[in-house]
Amino acid sequence: MKYVDEFRDGKLAKNIAANIAREATAASGYRLMEFCGGHTHALSRYGISDLLPASVRMIHGPGCPVCVLPIGRVDQAIRLAREHGVILCTYADTMRVPCSDNLTLMRAKSGGADVRMIYSTQDALKIARDNPNRQVVFFAIGFETTTPPTAVAVKQATAEGLKNFSVLCNHVLTPAAMHAILSAEGGVVLDGFVGPAHVSTVIGSKPYEPFADDYGKPVVIAGFEPLDVMQAILMLIRQINEGRATVENEFTRAVTREGNLKAQALVEEVFELRDVFEWRGLGSIPHSALKLRPEFAEFDAELKFSIDYVAVRDHKACECAAILRGEKRPQECKIFGTVCTPDNPVGSCMVSSEGACAAHYSYGRFRDAA
C-alpha cells in the first residue's frame, strides 16, 4: 500500500536497528518515553522491541485517551445515559472503560441505556438531528487530535440551532501531562521523549520546546509507523550521545513548528482551560484540560444536566496509575494477565489497544514466559 509500506519496510528496519545497536553505547543506557499510545501500539504490534538493544528501554507514557480518563468521568457519562435518559454517543474504546459498580458504558447499554458507538462527531450530530425529541450527549475524550472535530460539532450545532445536542467535554492537553511527569517528585527518570504524532500535527512542535530548554530532555516527534518510531529512537540516542537537548521532528511529512493554525483557532474559539482536571494516574493537574466557553454553555452537558464530577479511587490492586506515570511496567502489576485481561479489564490501560497493558498483553506477553 502506497505511503504505508514504505514505512514498514523490513530491510530499512534492519538498517536502522543496526545503527541503533552501534550507537547506543552509553553505559547508563537510554530511558526513552514514547508519550503516545499510538507509539506504544506500534512498538508492540510490529515487535520493535526485538530490534532494539538491551541498553534502550522504552517506557510507555500516558498518551492514551481512554487510559487517562478517571473513573468519575465515565460515571458521569453513565449517569447521563441511565438517569437522564439521553442518547450517549462516544468513540469505541470508551465503551469498555471500567467504572463504578462494576459497570462500563457497554454494560450500561446491555442494561437498557441508550449508548451508541460513533466514528466521528458528525455521527453524533446526525443522531441529534434524527431524534429531535431526545437529548443527545457526545462524550468527548482525547488529546489535541480529537478536540478540533468536537469544536466543529459545537459550532455546527450552534449554527443549526440544535437544542438537543451537548458535549460532555473531557479533552485534555499533552504538554500539561508531560510537565506533570517531568516535575513529579520521585517520578520516573527519563532521558528523552518520542514526541506525539497526531497531536503534533495540530499543536506543532513548538509547545515541546520547554521540555528541551527547561528540563534538558530531548524530544523527537515521530509518526506512528514502525520506521518512524525506530528513526526517532535513533535520533534521540544521537542527541543524548552528543549531550544535546532539542526538539527534533522526524514526522516532517505532517508536522510543522507552528502546527495547524486553523484548528488551533477553532479550539481557541470554542474551548477554554479548566482550572484543574483529574487525570487517572497523574492526579489533578492545573490547566490540563478544556471546557466549553461560556458563550457555548448551552452545549455543555455538565451544566445542562447539572452533573457534578465525583472523584472515585481506582481498584486497589490496579497499577494503572504507576504505569501511566511510567514508574511501573504492565507485567509488574499483580493482576496483569490474571484478573485483568483485555476481555475483563480492571484498569483502563487494559482497555484500548493503545493502552500499555493491553499492548503488552495482546502482542508481547510471550516475552514474560520463562
Chain contacts with another protein (rule: CB under 8 A): 1, 4, 8-10, 13-14, 17, 44-51, 96, 106, 118-119, 123, 226, 341-343, 358, 361-366, 369
Q: For cell 441505556, what's the residue?
A: 113
Q: Report the nearest approach of another protein to the CB of residue 228 (Å).
A: 12
* CB-nearer residue toward another protein: 49 or 55: 49
Q: Report the nearest approach of another protein to the CB of residue 46 (Å).
A: 4
Work out the number of other CB atoms within 10 angstroms of the CB of residue 337. 17
Selection from 278, 277, 305 nearest residue 291 by Cα:
277
* CB-nearer residue toward another protein: 42 or 240: 42
d(CA 289, CA 12): 39
Calculate the dihedral angle through the C-alpha atoms of 5, 52, 220, 62, rounding to the nearest 10 degrees.
100
Residue 186: strand, helix, or coil:
coil
DSSP 211-222: HHHTT---EEE-
* CB-nearer residue toward another protein: 196 or 204: 196
* CB-nearer residue toward another protein: 27 or 369: 369
Contact 288, 279 (CB under 8 A): yes
* CB-nearer residue toward another protein: 219 or 229: 229
Q: Report the nearest approach of another protein to the CB of residue 299 (Å).
A: 22
* CB-nearer residue toward another protein: 49 or 264: 49
* CB-nearer residue toward another protein: 148 or 226: 226
Q: Report the nearest approach of another protein to the CB of residue 9 (Å).
A: 8
**Apex 74 CA angle, 224 and 138, nearest 5:** 75
Q: Report the nearest approach of another protein to the CB of residue 22 (Å).
A: 17
Work out the number of other CB atoms within 10 angstroms of the CB of residue 35. 30
Q: For cell 502546527, what's the residue?
A: 259
Calculate the dihedral angle through the C-alpha atoms of 79, 85, 87, 91, rounding to the nearest 10 degrees.
10
* CB-nearer residue toward another protein: 124 or 289: 124
d(CA 210, CA 191): 15
Q: Report the nearest approach of another protein to the CB of residue 48 (Å).
A: 6
Q: Report the nearest approach of another protein to the CB of residue 279 (Å).
A: 24
Kind of pairing between the strands at 276-279 and 283-286: antiparallel
Q: Report the nearest approach of another protein to the CB of residue 162 (Å).
A: 19
Q: Which helix (H) or strand (E) holds 175?
A: helix 174-183
Q: For cell 510507555, what's the residue?
A: 60
